Structure 1
Amino acid sequence: MYQIVEAMKSHNLELALNWASTKKEQLIRSESDIELKFQRLQFVEILQNNDKDEALKYDRTCFAPYASSNMAAIQKLMACFLWVGRLDSSPYSELLFPKQWDKLSEVLTRHFCNIIGCSE
């Protein structure tokens, strides 16, 4: 868990996404959407790098499983394409706030501890 949180401080979600993928069944049972939140942040990071092609590819591979239950959130992410290069001045700028990363680290800690059966 500590390695994942440290990586997230550098806006690196690889470990977090891998963890969520391996714990998918447990996260589904606990009705957690943390994997989608990780993927949302990853998508925004890709867009921040002005890589529309990579962001579109990421969208097609990662968000399809969530389409039926999270369409509004996915549509909001798709609207971000209109603001590439200026997302910080868009109606979606809240997706960029560093607090998003801090909050998600806290959520990760809760879910991680819940899965292994310990307190935070």
Structure 2
Amino acid sequence: MLLVYFGAQSAWALGLLGLVLLLAALIAIQAHRSRAQGGNEELPGMLGEVTESSDARGKSWALVRGEIWQVQCDVPLHPGQTVRVVRVRGLTLQVELVADRDVSLGEST
């Protein structure tokens, strides 16, 4: 009945359009189910460079992933030192000082 009303070529076009829509729906469902790739969840383990010395409370600033973050460390930090992110607490990163030999090995988890 459809072939009589629309013709054979229109039926092929409608079938192809249906397949494209089905494929688009499957891709959308798969994208919706996958986890977010990025954000602050991937910060722990990343390396950064200290940009300002620590103050009396142990807070400093460091360049991590191309962004300046407020960091806190148990030891005093000085500009140019390399740190590794241990955990994220709000907008402050808890870091640890990285030995120079670890940086040369390229350990950036």
TM-score, structure 1 as length reference: 0.19
Structure showing the higher helix proportion among its residues: 1
Structure showing the higher strand proportion among its residues: 2
Higher relative contact order (CA 8 A, sep 6+): 1
Q: Which has the larger radius of gyration?
A: 2
